[in-house]
Every structure is written in C-alpha cells, then in structure tokens.
C-alpha cells in the first residue's frame, strides 16, 4: 500500500454556491478559488484549512452525482478525500483487496488533481475519493 499523506479535502454538496460561500466565510474560512469542473458537472469553491481543504460543490446539471445526492439526501457532506502518493498503485492494491472503484482509471478533478472514488457500498457508507496532486 502506498503512503496516505493526509485528508486532502472534504466535499460538501450545496444547492447554491454563493449562499454556501456566505455561510462558510461567516464561519471564518476564506474562498481561495472557484473552479468549474465540466466532466463532474460541478462548480467548486475551494477553502483552504491548514494542510487540508473544504470543497463546496454545486451541481451544474441535474444529472450530476451532486444533484442526485442532494435530491436523495439533501445538502451536506458528500465525500471524504484522502491524498495519496501514487494513485495507480493505491488503486491496484484496493482492487486486489476487493474494494469497488468507481473510475477504473484516474480522472482529472478540481485543481488538476488525479482522482478516483471508492464506492460507499465497500467502505461502510462513505464515498471515499483518492486524490493525487502535485504539491
């Protein structure tokens, strides 16, 4: 198993990014960047918290994973992302152990990170992202 470096970010599903930003800036955090990720059909606000971040995720399409999550469960924590050193090796290892990966190859996520997800059915109910980024 390759090294897990840190909790890279926590993804939070929100209906309206501007309203969510007001709430989180009111809580004392600051938005560092806003980015659209067309492949994931989201607009993301990134708020750095020490070595980690919070990502506020607003759906840009009703068929996106975030829109479906909000429709079924409401706004709230959507996923937990672990920062890994080598995503391919990590994916291979988890696959051999029987974990269900959602993307068979790493894809590009917010901030140019290379990402995949582990299905909540194989983690005890948490959607887990693996995330490799150049620091």
Q: What is the sign, positive or negative, of the torsion defined by CA atoms of 116, 121, 127, 131?
A: negative
11 part of the interface to ligand CMX, by CB under 6 A: yes
State the minimum distance, in angstroms, from the CB of residue 33 to ligand CMX. Answer: 14
| Radius of gyration for the chain, computed over Cα atoms and rounded to the nearest angstrom | 15
Instruction: Give me the residues paired with residue 84 across strands.
Output: 4
**What are the residue ranges of helices labelled H in the chain?**
17-26, 65-73, 87-96
Q: Are 57 and 36 in contact (CB under 8 A)?
A: no
120 part of the interface to ligand CMX, by CB under 6 A: yes
59 part of the interface to ligand CMX, by CB under 6 A: no
| Binding to ligand CMX, residues 29-58 (CB under 6 A) | 37, 40, 42, 55, 57
By CB under 6 A, name the one of 14, 47, 70, 78 that touches ligand CMX: 78
| Residues contributing to the site for ligand CMX (CB under 6 A) | 11, 37, 40, 42, 55, 57, 65-66, 68-69, 72, 78-79, 102, 109-110, 117, 119-120, 125, 127
């Amino acid at each position: 198993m390759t090294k897990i470096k840190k909790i890279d970010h926590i993804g939070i599903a929100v209906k309206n990014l501007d309203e969510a930003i007001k709430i989180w800036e009111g809580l004392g955090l600051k938005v560092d960047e806003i980015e659209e990720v067309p492949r994931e059909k989201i607009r993301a606000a990134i708020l750095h918290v020490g070595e980690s971040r919070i990502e506020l995720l607003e759906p840009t399409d009703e068929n996106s994973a975030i829109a479906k999550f909000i429709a079924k469960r409401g706004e709230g924590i959507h996923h937990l992302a672990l920062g890994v050193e080598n995503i391919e090796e990590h994916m291979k290892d988890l696959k051999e152990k029987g974990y269900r990966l959602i993307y068979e190859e790493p894809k590009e996520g917010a901030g140019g990170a290379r990402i995949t997800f582990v299905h909540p059915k194989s983690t005890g109910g948490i959607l887990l992202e693996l995330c490799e980024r150049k620091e």
